[in-house]
């Protein structure tokens, strides 16, 4: 009997040990399965992250040419309109998202410019236009000035003093911001009559000077507005050396002035003289 009891106890212990070992193996298997699952999930997350990063990089690579194309389109549109619009003098600038055109155009051409921009797909809010229109025989003069037109927004700049249109008897005055280098200042005033008035024949100013032209002083009573009325063209010219060898008449024909100016600009290019111009339209009426 004693031996039987001992065998039964030993068998029970063996079964318990076997059960514990089985439980340990099952626990180890569960833990390994959990680790394998976690590893697979992490691998899936890593793969998803890599795929997302690859997609983002691909999108960026696809967008870069589109951005560059948009920039080129705006620059191309601005430059084309500034250089190819007939009978105009337009300064242009462009960024990735906007473009600007500023200057003078023949009456009616601003509408054509807007239509051109629309046909190129340029949004209205991306194009900033500051164009003033005129009627007058100024096309040849504008062509002559175009190579020396100053960049958009840069000095020299010019503004008419007072409210436009100017009426008969008012004084013609201009505020001019000189460039950031010492320059000789000229003011050529083209009239519908086909004549040019050399209102400021040549005066040297310091860099970045702000000048008011036409203000009465001493015996000078100012430039009084008179007929013929309409749209005249004033052109401010800044050069780091004198342009004309001889003084110009106060008033001369446009043909004579342009002949002298063409020669002066050729000499300036040959000698490396810096020349920059800025136009402005002046509208005059008998009464506002």
> Would you say residue 124 lies in a domain?
no
> Would you say residue 283 lies in a domain?
yes
> Would you say residue 252 lies in a domain?
yes
Q: Residue 238's closest CA among 208, 260, 197, 195?
A: 208
> Would you say residue 61 lies in a domain?
no
Q: Residue 146's closest CA among 211, 87, 216?
A: 87
Q: Residue 182's closest CA among 164, 216, 210, 205?
A: 205
CB atoms within 10 A of CB 161: 15
Give the C-alpha separation, 77 to 71, whole Å.
10
What DSSP string describes 34-57?
HHHHHHHHHHHHHHHHHHHHHHHH
- Residues facing residue 159 across a β-bridge: 175
Give the C-alpha separation, 196 to 173, whole Å.
17
Structure tokens at 37: 């699952």
The mean pLDDT of 145-169, rounded to a whole number, is 96
Instruction: Tell me the pLDDT tens digit for each residue of 158-196.
Output: 999 999 999 999 999 999 999 999 999 999 999 999 999
> Would you say residue 78 lies in a domain?
no
**How many distinct structural domains can be found in the chain?**
1
Instruction: Tell me the pLDDT tens digit for each residue of 200-251.
Output: 988 999 999 999 999 999 999 999 999 999 999 999 999 999 999 888 999 9
- What range defines the domain where residue 195 resides? 139-288
- Residues facing residue 232 across a β-bridge: 282
The mean pLDDT of 147-160, rounded to a whole number, is 95
> Would you say residue 145 lies in a domain?
yes
> Would you say residue 167 lies in a domain?
yes
CATH code (residue 275): 2.60.40.2550
């Amino acid at each position: 009997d004693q031996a039987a009891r001992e065998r039964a106890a030993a068998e029970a212990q063996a079964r318990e040990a076997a059960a514990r070992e089985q439980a340990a193996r099952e626990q180890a298997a569960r833990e390994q399965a959990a680790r394998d699952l976690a590893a697979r999930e992490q691998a899936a997350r890593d793969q998803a992250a890599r795929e997302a990063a690859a997609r983002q990089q691909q999108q960026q690579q696809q967008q870069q040419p589109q951005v560059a194309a948009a920039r080129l389109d705006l620059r191309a549109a601005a430059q084309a309109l500034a250089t190819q619009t007939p009978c105009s003098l337009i300064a242009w600038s462009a960024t990735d998202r906007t473009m600007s055109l500023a200057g003078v155009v023949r009456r009616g051409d601003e509408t054509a410019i807007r239509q051109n921009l629309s046909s190129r797909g340029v949004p209205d809010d991306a194009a900033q236009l500051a164009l003033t229109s005129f009627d007058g025989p100024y096309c040849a003069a504008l062509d002559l000035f175009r190579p020396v037109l100053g960049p958009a927004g840069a000095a020299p700049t010019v503004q008419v003093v007072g409210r436009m249109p100017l009426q008969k008897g008012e004084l013609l005055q201009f505020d001019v911001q000189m460039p950031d280098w010492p320059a000789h200042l000229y003011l050529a005033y083209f009239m519908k009559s086909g004549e040019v008035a050399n209102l400021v024949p040549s005066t040297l100013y310091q860099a970045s000077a702000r000048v008011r032209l036409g203000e009465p002083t001493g015996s000078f009573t100012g430039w009084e507005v008179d007929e013929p009325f309409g749209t005249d063209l004033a052109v401010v010219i800044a050069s780091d050396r004198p342009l004309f060898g001889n003084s110009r008449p106060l008033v001369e024909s446009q043909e004579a002035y342009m002949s002298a100016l063409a020669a002066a600009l050729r000499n300036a290019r040959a000698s490396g003289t810096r020349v920059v111009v800025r136009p402005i339209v002046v509208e005059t009426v008998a009464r506002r």
